[in-house]
Every structure is written in C-alpha cells, then in structure tokens.
C-alpha cells in the first residue's frame, strides 16, 4: 500500500500527480492496539508501534468501531487493549480510548485449515478515560456510512473500484513489516470463485478484492474497504486471505450491505441505548 500522507503530498504538487482515491483521507480509520508493556527479548527490540499494532477498524457511529471478530476477544479487552482514532501515525498520534464493550457476531466461527472465518465481525464500544486527550471531544472523528444505510445502495458486484487502508504488513512471509503511517491501496472487486484457494469455501456474505500486486495483509484486518465512487461508503471489512498480493488469491472481506450485517449492526449500536451511554 502507498502512504496516505505521501499521496496527499503528491496531490498538492499539481493535477498531473497521482491522486488518492480517498481525497480527504480516512478520518473513520481506527487502530486497535495492545498497550502491554512487559515485552522481553526479541519483541522488546522491535519498534513500539509494530509490537502494539493489532488490527484496523472503522468508526461507524459515535462511540462504535466495527472490526473483524478475529481481531479481539474479551480477554484482550480485559487486558486493556485500546482504540486509536484521528491520526495517520500509529506511533503516538491521535486520541486513544478505553474499550468498554465487545460484541462479537453471534455466528462468528474462526478460520479453519480449509477456509476463511465466518461472520468475522465485532463491534467495539469505546469511552474516554484518563489516557484520552480531553480536547478530543471538541472535534469528534467522522464516521463512515455503511453500505445499505440509504435507499439506492446496492450489493457490490465485481469490477467496483474500492480502497482499503491500514497499518498492516507490506507483504506476507519473512521480512514483512508493519507500517507506522497509514497506507492505502486501490483495488477492484473480483469474483471469489475465480481464486483457486477460495473456490467452494466462500459464501455470499463475503467479498473479494485485489489488483496485481495490490492487497491488504496481516494487521490490516478489521479495517475498512471503501467504495470510492462518489461519497465514500463502507462496503467491506478486511478479514482473510491466502498470502498477500500474490496475484492468484485476492483479499477476502466481510460484505456489508442491506442483506448482510446491516440489521445486526443496527441492533447492537442503536436498539439498546444503554450500550451507547459512556460510563
């Protein structure tokens, strides 16, 4: 993926320069990170952002992050994993929050050796605490609209221009590195069944997207797949893949539309007002 900050700099250079498909960045982008401090040995030598970075996520409503279920469990919430919002820089930028509730999709099933996770979604509710910059309340981050939330939103077919963002690895396998700065890559939706590794293992609640040498990768999970034609809208959540950017197996995303997960997200975030109350 290329750096969003770099893309923005190119944009300023003039109309001939490459343009980011996300003209105004990705203000809904969240980072889910571990603030564990007891690292030892080889882990201690790695940069802090690389030790802490766990997953991406998207702000979808005030106080709510949509991410992948495989990104976080209740144990990790209890150990103090946090959410970071409002920055391209995962090292120390933005504003961080305490996670006070995790709602994993009731039908989530982890990946198996034969195939991808099922219903790989979780919702995180977050609140400000003593580590949260108090001035953050003056400029709340901007949520991304969910596909299907407006009349006229359809299911995403193949050949749609979409963009994925994250702090994940630059390749699969040895020598791969997390990125300290948020990166983005423009890809296209493709048929999952054309991928030899996915045929027969995917279902209609999944979406595949890729382009030659372009993909999401480990650490990007939970992050947004955005439809970039017109107003940005969240159409997918980074979930799984066989390798990264290897040409034959595109990235696999949880599909978001009227027939897929919109009701569940609405129920969790709206139907129980108690869950929306900061405590």
Contact set with ligand 4AZ (CB under 6 A): 215-218, 220-221, 238, 240-241, 244, 251
Q: Which of 20, 179, 221, 239 is catalytic?
A: 221
Can you give the length of the chain in residues?
279
**What b/e readout covers 160-199, taking b as 16+ CB neighbours within 10 angstroms?**
bebbbbbbbbebeeeeeebbbbbbbbbbebbebeebebbe
- Who's near 207: CB < 8 A, 6+ residues apart? 156, 189, 192, 225, 235, 236, 252, 253, 254, 255
H helix or E strand, kind and range, residue 82? strand 82-85
Q: Catalytic: 221?
A: yes
Q: Least CB distance from residue 114 to ligand 4AZ, whole Å?
A: 16
Q: Least CB distance from residue 239 to ligand 4AZ, whole Å?
A: 7
Residue (63 or 251) nearer to ligand 4AZ, CB: 251
Residue (95 or 192) nearer to ligand 4AZ, CB: 192
- Who's near 241: CB < 8 A, 6+ residues apart? 215, 216, 217, 249, 250, 251, 252
Q: Which of 58, 105, 120, 257 is catalytic?
A: 120
Q: Which of 20, 58, 70, 215 is catalytic?
A: 70
- Who's near 172: CB < 8 A, 6+ residues apart? 217, 218, 243, 244, 245, 246
What whole-number distance in Å separates Cα of residue 185 and Cα of residue 164?
Answer: 6
Catalogue the E-assigned strands of 105-218. 122-127, 161-166, 183-190, 206-210
Q: Least CB distance from residue 26 to ligand 4AZ, whole Å?
A: 17
Q: Least CB distance from residue 172 to ligand 4AZ, whole Å?
A: 7
Cα 57 to chain center, whole Å? 4
- Written as six digits, the tokens of 154 are 């359809």
Q: Catalytic: 120?
A: yes
Q: Least CB distance from residue 215 to ligand 4AZ, whole Å?
A: 4
Residue 205: Cβ within 10 Å count: 17
Residues belonging to the active site: 70, 120, 221
């Amino acid at each position: 993926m290329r750096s969003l900050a770099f893309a923005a700099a190119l944009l300023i250079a003039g109309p001939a320069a490459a343009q980011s498909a996300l003209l105004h960045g990705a203000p809904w982008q969240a980072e889910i990170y571990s603030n564990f401090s007891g690292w030892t040995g080889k882990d201690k030598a790695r940069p802090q952002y690389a030790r802490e970075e766990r997953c991406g996520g998207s702000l979808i409503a005030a106080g709510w992050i949509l991410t992948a279920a495989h990104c976080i469990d209740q144990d990790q919430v209890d150990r103090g994993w946090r959410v970071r919002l409002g920055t391209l820089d995962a090292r120390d930028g933005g504003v961080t929050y305490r996670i006070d509730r995790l709602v994993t999709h009731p039908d989530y099933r982890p990946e198996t050796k034969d195939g991808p996770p099922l219903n790989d979604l979780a919702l995180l509710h977050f609140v400000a605490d003593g580590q949260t910059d108090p001035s953050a309340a003056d400029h709340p981050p901007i949520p991304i609209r969910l596909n299907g939330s407006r009349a006229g939103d359809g299911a995403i077919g193949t050949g749609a221009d979409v963009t994925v963002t994250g702090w994940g690895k630059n390749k699969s396998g040895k020598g791969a590195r997390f990125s300290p700065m948020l990166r983005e890559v423009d890809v296209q939706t493709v048929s999952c069944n054309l991928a030899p590794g996915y045929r027969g293992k995917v279902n209609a609640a999944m979406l595949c997207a890729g382009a030659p040498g372009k993909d999401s990768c480990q650490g990007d999970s939970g992050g947004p797949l955005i439809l970039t034609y017109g107003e940005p809208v969240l159409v997918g959540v980074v979930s799984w893949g066989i390798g990264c950017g290897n040409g034959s197996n595109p990235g696999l995303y949880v599909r978001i539309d009227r027939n897929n997960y919109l009701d569940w997200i609405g129920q969790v975030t709206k139907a129980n007002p108690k869950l929306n109350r900061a405590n």
